[in-house]
């Protein structure tokens, strides 16, 4: 289930280096809260509700799965870190940065911290004009007007002037679209499905996830490996072939690239560990017959986790048939991957040690991994 929300915010500054303040705030939102989707033009506007220097204003849409109250707290922390001081009962005043949540999707919310839609947004031209650029069809859920109609009926007569300098979207620093196909690989519990899913959402990729949950032989294998190893590996071989053939042949014109949480060579790596030598030789022959014409990923990312962290993750996700996996088996899988990658000349491989990283719950770790994936080999 996708819990991400679209958050629409207004940014303003009339103290210090106003343009830099806006850019710094956007960068911090990206680093701490979520992906920046789109940024409006910047407008110069007179102070609203008090006498003061002109503001620079813009609007931004970003996405996050953080709860609205936590988003509000994070925005307040950003304001404080940038030098804003809120005086009790001070009313409107000059500020280094002002961050207001305008909409959370098209929901109506009221908490101790937050009220959305923002109760004053329809009265403020410096909000509506930049918002119109990036969300013209967004509808106010209680006033039942879209942003265009709200601006048309707004009584604010302020004159806004666009400036010819565009703010930079920090999300654009990570370039994936020059790859057509990326595979994320790793041991059991390494986090490959989570990472592939997060990247697909943030960077508009077609997502291919292995259908391991549908394999009826997997629980049986963990109960009796010798009996079910060949049956399991053959069923995976057939299913992976069918899935990857179908998914790679079906182009999605609305996606920028493909990302998967497995690579076809996974079948060889696991079967070499689980099968006796004579069965593995037969299996390998079938593998190369089936996969000789299948497209290979242009980037192969291997997520290395130490065994202790793998066991933590396995227990955390709670699949009953995985709970008795032994450390020795995980060590063999890791060794199998590393041996395969060491002797691999056809794939562009990046091995990333994430043993001390929690990219699911720590956005800083997630951004670090994105940087490791995207940085050029020359920069290493």
Question: What confidence tens digit (pLDDT) does each residue in 110-127 have?
Answer: 999 999 999 999 999 999
Residues 156 and 216 in one domain: no
Please determine, for residue 2, whether its predicted confidence score (pLDDT) is greater than 90. Answer: no
**Contacts of 284 by beta carbon, 8 Å cutoff, 6+ apart:** 268, 271
Residues 20 and 137 in one domain: yes
Question: What confidence tens digit (pLDDT) does each residue in 125-140 have?
Answer: 999 999 999 999 999 9
Question: What confidence tens digit (pLDDT) does each residue in 148-198 have?
Answer: 999 999 999 999 999 999 999 999 999 887 899 999 999 999 999 999 999
Please determine, for residue 380, whether its predicted confidence score (pLDDT) is greater than 70. Answer: no
The span from the CA of 161 to the CA of 290, in Å, is 63
Tokens 């942003």 correspond to: 147
**pLDDT for res 93:** 81
Catalytic site residue from 98, 202, 261, 263: 261
Residues 162 and 202 in one domain: no
**Other CB atoms within 10 A of residue 303 CB:** 23
Residues 105 and 141 in one domain: yes
**pLDDT for res 270:** 94
**pLDDT for res 90:** 60
The span from the CA of 114 to the CA of 101, in Å, is 8
The span from the CA of 52 to the CA of 70, in Å, is 31
Residues 297 and 309 in one domain: yes
Question: At which of 120, 139, 172 does a domain end?
Answer: 172
Q: What is the CATH number of the domain that holds 339?
A: 3.40.50.300
Whether this model's pTM surpasses 0.75: yes
89 band by pLDDT with thresholds 50, 70 and 90:
low
Tally of domains within the chain = 2
Identify whether 261 is a catalytic site residue.
yes
Transcribe 88-133 into DSSP letters.
TT--S---S-EEEEEEETT--EE-SS-EES-TTGGG-HHHHHHHHH
- Reading the block at residue 360, the tokens are 């699911």
Question: At which of 127, 156, 172 does a domain end?
Answer: 172
Please determine, for residue 144, whether its predicted confidence score (pLDDT) is greater than 50. Answer: yes
The span from the CA of 369 to the CA of 204, in Å, is 18
Please determine, for residue 308, whether its predicted confidence score (pLDDT) is greater than 90. Answer: yes
Residues 97 and 190 in one domain: no
Residues 184 and 121 in one domain: no
Question: At which of 109, 141, 172 does a domain end?
Answer: 172
Residues 50 and 159 in one domain: yes
Transcribe 194-210 into DSSP letters.
HHHHHHHHHTTEEEE--
**pLDDT for res 98:** 96
Residues 161 and 178 in one domain: no
Q: What is the mean pLDDT of the chain?
A: 92
Question: What confidence tens digit (pLDDT) does each residue in 332-360 have?
Answer: 999 999 999 998 888 899 999 999 999 99
Determine the structural domain holding residue 128 and report its residue range: 5-172
């Amino acid at each position: 289930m996708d819990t991400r929300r679209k958050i629409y915010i207004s940014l303003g500054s009339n103290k210090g280096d106003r343009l830099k303040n806006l850019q710094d705030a956007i960068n911090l939102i990206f680093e701490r809260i979520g992906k920046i989707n789109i940024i409006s033009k910047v407008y110069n506007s007179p102070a609203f509700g008090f006498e003061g220097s002109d503001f620079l204003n813009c609007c931004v849409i970003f996405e996050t799965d953080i709860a609205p109250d936590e988003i509000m707290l994070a925005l307040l922390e950003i304001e404080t870190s940038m030098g804003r001081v809120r005086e009790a009962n001070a009313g409107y005043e000059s500020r280094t940065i002002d961050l207001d949540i305008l909409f959370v999707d098209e929901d109506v919310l009221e908490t101790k911290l937050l009220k959305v839609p923002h109760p004053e947004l329809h009265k403020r031209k410096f909000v509506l004009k930049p918002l119109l650029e990036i969300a013209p069809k967004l509808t106010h859920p209680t006033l039942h007007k879209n942003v265009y109609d709200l601006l048309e009926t707004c009584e604010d007569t302020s004159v806004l002037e666009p400036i010819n300098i565009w703010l930079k979207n920090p999300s654009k620093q990570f370039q994936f679209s020059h790859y057509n196909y990326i595979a994320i690989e790793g041991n059991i519990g390494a986090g490959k499905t989570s990472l592939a899913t997060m990247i697909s959402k943030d960077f508009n990729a077609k997502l291919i996830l292995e259908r391991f949950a549908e394999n009826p032989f997997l629980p049986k294998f963990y109960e009796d490996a010798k009996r079910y190893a060949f049956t399991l590996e053959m069923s995976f071989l057939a299913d992976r072939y069918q899935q990857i053939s179908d998914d790679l042949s079906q182009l999605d014109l609305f996606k920028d690239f493909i990302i998967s949480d497995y690579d076809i060579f996974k079948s060889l790596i696991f079967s070499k560990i689980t099968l006796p030598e004579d069965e593995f030789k037969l299996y390998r022959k079938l593998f190369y017959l089936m996969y000789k014409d299948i497209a290979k990923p242009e980037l192969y990312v291997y997520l290395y986790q130490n065994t202790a962290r793998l066991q933590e993750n396995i227990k955390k996700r709670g699949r009953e048939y995985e709970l008795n996996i032994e450390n020795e088996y995980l060590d063999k899988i890791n060794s199998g991957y590393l041996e395969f990658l060491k002797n691999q000349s056809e794939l562009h491989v990046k091995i990333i040690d994430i043993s001390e990283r929690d990219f699911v719950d720590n956005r800083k770790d997630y951004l670090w991994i994105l940087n490791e994936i995207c940085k050029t080999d020359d920069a290493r």
